[in-house]
């Protein structure tokens, strides 16, 4: 299911998959907040923070220009060309 490291280029499929993963993770955050009876107002305030955390993590893991977990970093793309 996951593309190999050599094939990780940002196309529509990979971008969609990345967004589905992040959306699913936000859903898990909401589920856990509901399960542990976190105040709904606090849950609503946590959503932008969680989305920011996922975007920040994806810039550290993948390509910082597209904020994607699945895209290769630019250095890796240039090294692969050589």
Residue 17 CB neighbours (<10 A): 17
> What does the radius of gyration of the chain's CA atoms come to, in whole angstroms?
16
**Residues shown for the chain:** 82
- Residue 38's closest CA among 29, 27, 49? 29
Query: Which of 3-7, 9-13, 19-23, 63-67 is least confident?
Result: 3-7
25-80, pLDDT tens digit by residue? Answer: 999 999 999 999 999 999 999 999 999 999 898 888 887 877 777 777 776 555 56
CA–CA gap between residue 21 and residue 50 (Å, rounded) = 13
**Cα 9 to chain centroid, rounded:** 15
- Compute φ and ψ for 57, nearest 5 degrees: -65, -40
């Amino acid at each position: 299911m996951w593309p190999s490291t050599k094939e990780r280029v940002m196309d529509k499929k990979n971008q969609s998959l990345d967004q589905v993963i992040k959306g699913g993770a936000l859903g898990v955050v909401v589920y856990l907040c509901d399960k542990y009876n976190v105040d709904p107002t606090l849950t609503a305030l946590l959503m932008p923070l969680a989305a920011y955390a996922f975007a920040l993590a994806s810039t550290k893991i993948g390509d910082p220009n597209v904020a994607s977990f699945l895209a290769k970093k630019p250095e890796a793309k240039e090294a692969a060309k050589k």
